[in-house]
Amino acid sequence: MIEMKTPDDGARRTTQRVAPELARTLIVAPHPDDDAIATGGLMQKVLASGGRLRILFVTDGESNPWPQRFQQRKIVITAADRAEWGALRRAEAICSLASLGVPSDTASFLGFPDQRMSSLLFSGDQRLPQRLVQEIEQFRPTLIAAPSKLDLHPDHRAISCFVHDAVKRAAVEHPALVTYVIHGGADDHRLSSRFELTAEERQRKRAAIACHVSQLALSRERFLAHARSSEMFYLPEDDLERPGRLRLWSGWMRHVFRVLFWWPKSEAAPVVADPDTPSERKARAAHV
């Protein structure tokens, strides 16, 4: 089941059951794994409906020191180590997409610096918005799924601002834009679309997340908990101000706190009952 409402709907009105136009769906992922976590179900629905997908990974997720220290048993992470980690995460992303039946040539890795997207935003760097405009004009998406300005992760918030700008600047009929929150939450009144996943879709989404072996080592339960029975997407956020440095910093602190000390049980919804899938075992075996 797919439910959707438009920005003109009343804030608390029941959502209308109108299927979003999935013919050409563009997914913007700040890091490898955000695509599977936020849109693993959406991607399956696009493919099942005969639609086309385009996935943009803005960064390689290379600045990910604690999982890397833990897995490689080293304290000092060099630039070469980060590059190696980024390559590993790109490979995991391709594995993850393949597990959903998404061809690797639908994805592009843009190579922007991990953990530095807010700096690029504040400096007025135009490289990402220009690339996004180019992608939108070439692919002409009917739907764009992008990170939310309400997400606690600064990269997600900054990239959300870049996407909103690019959608306005692109010389195409404006596609539908929905946003997703991975770290933190959004108010129910901003809900735009809710995708209910079948047991099979949920299972495949779980397997896609499990391909990100580098991320599961320290946070397995937290990551796999995203294979819930539904995916939520929120309204475009042109009405929300661009977050300032202080808000980005406080959001990041809240995110770190949540990861380290507090993971609400309500978010850690039980996943389908299979502790280990064949694709998960294959991904782990290939992992170095």
> Dihedral of CA 211/4/264/239: which sign?
positive
Closer residue to Zn ion in complex, CB, 160/193:
160
Tokens describing residue 186: 């959004």
> Which residue in the shown chain puts its C-beta closest to Zn ion?
31
Nearest approach, Cβ of residue 200 and Zn ion (Å): 26
* DSSP label of 13: S
- Of 34 and 201, the one with the shorter C-beta distance to Zn ion is 34
Nearer to Zn ion, 142 or 215 (CB): 215
Pairing of strands 176-180, 2-4: unpaired
DSSP assignments along 200-223, one per residue? HHHHHHHHHHHT-HHHHHHHHHHH
**DSSP secondary structure code for residue 16 in this structure:** B
Place of tokens 């939108």: 136
Nearer to Zn ion, 52 or 263 (CB): 263
CB of 138 to Zn ion, least distance (A): 25
Q: Which amino acid is at 268?
A: A
Supply the minimum distance, in Å, between the C-beta of residue 209 and Zn ion. Answer: 13
Query: Is residue 207 exposed (0-12), middle (13-18) or buried (19+ Cβ within 10 Å)?
Result: buried
Least distance (Å) between residue 39 CB and Zn ion: 12
The CA distance from 142 to 24, in Å, is 5
Smallest gap from residue 131 Cβ to Zn ion (A): 18
Positions touching Zn ion (CB under 5 A) are 30-31, 34
